[in-house]
Structure 1
């Protein structure tokens, strides 16, 4: 995983995070995400960034051919914004309008609605950003989130009543602001509708709760769900490509054969198509007797196979599962490294060198490994490198 951010001295720092599997003493696979280094790189084009990544992997003796997934984040060039020294007449009008809106019932209603929506997103986000999270977990959480957001439409009256209680407590009239309704020019052959029959003040004022519910509440939920589907479309495709590896109990043999062939085509360098199909069908037959009655998650399935010493029977399945488990779900680990970057290279250490920055960051971020270092060996190694006395015979 690679991401970038400017540090205190406005130097673009690219962080490198490696996601891989380890096997503990009990033979159990664990997902690891480790910080490698910060690289000073101010280049922005895709070709330059690719060259920088390949060079770093080569210098770190990490074969690029063994890498099977990449994590990235959307980036944008940030431009400096000059601070306004004085408010213009138009700005004063905008500020007054903002203050008026904040003191309105619509603002309270929007705050109550967005709190419910963002709280649901945040709960799923915390699960997805966990280090042990995998793509299938992400897909399930996104699908559950979309279902939960759609169920918010049925809770409109609860949110509306809650906003009214808050408005009364803040001494704000719990009614919608009066807005003028646009009048459409009528012609002699127009039919009379219910809206046209309304006359007088009701034809000029639109304070209907239904308008806000339809034009704002429903529209926001539909837009968020649409953006979720669009943003995570690639994740859904990846999960579909790997899904047969652990969902074979719910599939027919024909679907399993077809999916295994598609997967083998995508990962032809790692998997044998014919052998993978045979292994999946064989695993399906012995699943209930040796594993469990229900489908297992990818990590649990891999650990079950390893625990039963069945790796030699299902080598291609184990390889495929290990590839899937190393695919990054989010770049949360990269974002966490930026938090350490700001603590280490602050305004008092703005001239810190790149090597020192990376070394201190490595000790801080990977402190669990640093605490296991044998300092006696470390001191002897340091003394041997720094010793200036020669040995004379």
Structure 2
């Protein structure tokens, strides 16, 4: 999240202070390769339109406001969409489970807040039990030398199973599992929506849900299907029902 904040600050600095340096760099490039430079105060004329029909807009306004600022604002919007308030809180709460530096980022209140995002798994009574288990958990982690070299939340889950602490602290282990599942589930959904725009194109907009689902599975998991021999696929297709001829 610190890197996200740094990226936003850098974009803001570029938006406010970098136009003049960018323009100077472009002018030097054009001068070096004998490229005609437009007069920034002249009226901007879009390609395919006549000067009389063009809007009252200077070249400076077009390239600075409609291109330079617009591109940076699009990057701002992308960062804000991907790291909104809910996602930011989730990531910051998940970071409290990191075992680095003897669980230096451990925070019971933030982990309780993380559990509240899952009301079906953690009821009000379960949250009280979770708070008690979290206090026992951090004491246990500091005392047990086996957890001193654990790396990441995934390594923490593996070590808890190896030491059978997932049985002693089941609610803490459930919270760790949910933290591990969340990024995978989010990425899978985003991949599915991205693939849907490719599979269900304007030429195939009448595709039914069942066929669309089958095509999405084969497209998203294409690495798995690439390892399957074509002969196996044809035999499977042939055995589904009788065909007019053998494949």
Same-fold status (TM-score > 0.5): yes
Shift of 1:350: 7.7
Is 2:24 the counterpart of 1:165? no
Partner of 2:167, secondary structure, is coil
Is 2:113 the counterpart of 1:262? yes
In the aligned structure 1, how far is the partner of 2:80 from the partner of 2:217?
A: 36
Call closer, same or farther: CA 1:177–1:351 in 2, change over 3 Å. closer
In the aligned structure 2, how far is the partner of 1:281 from the partner of 1:325?
A: 21
CA contact (8 A) 1:279 1:314 kept: yes
Shift of 1:235: 1.3
Which of 129, 147, 161 in structure 2 is aligned with 1:291? 147
- Name the residue aligned to 1:4: none
Shift of 1:177: 1.8
Shift of 1:358: 4.1
What is the correspondence of 1:336-355 to structure 2 with a 5 Å cutoff?
336-342=195-201, 347=203, 355=210
- Normalising by structure 1, report the TM-score: 0.39
What is the correspondence of 1:1-393 to structure 2 with a 5 Å cutoff?
139=1, 142-152=4-14, 155=18, 158-168=21-31, 169=33, 171-173=35-37, 176-177=40-41, 225=76, 228-229=79-80, 232-246=84-98, 249-251=103-105, 256-271=107-122, 272-285=126-139, 286=141, 289-292=145-148, 296-306=151-161, 309-327=164-182, 328-329=186-187, 331-342=190-201, 347=203, 355-370=210-225, 371=227, 379=235, 383=239, 386=241
Partner of 1:321, secondary structure, is helix
RMSD: 4.9
Greater helix share, structure number? 2
CA contact (8 A) 1:337 1:365 kept: no
Call closer, same or farther: CA 1:365–1:219 in 2, change over 3 Å. closer
Q: Which has the higher contact order (CA 8 A, sep 6+)?
A: 1
What CA deviation, in whole Å up to 9, does each residue of 1:247-296 have, x standing for no partner? 793357xxx343344344443542432443344334434258333469x5
Greater strand share, structure number? 1
In the aligned structure 2, how far is the partner of 1:367 from the partner of 1:234?
A: 32
Call closer, same or farther: CA 1:276–1:164 in 2, change over 3 Å. same
CA contact (8 A) 1:245 1:321 kept: yes
Partner of 1:318, secondary structure, is helix
Gapped regions of structure 2 (runs ≥ 5): 44-57, 243-247
Gapped regions of structure 1 (runs ≥ 5): 1-138, 180-206, 388-393
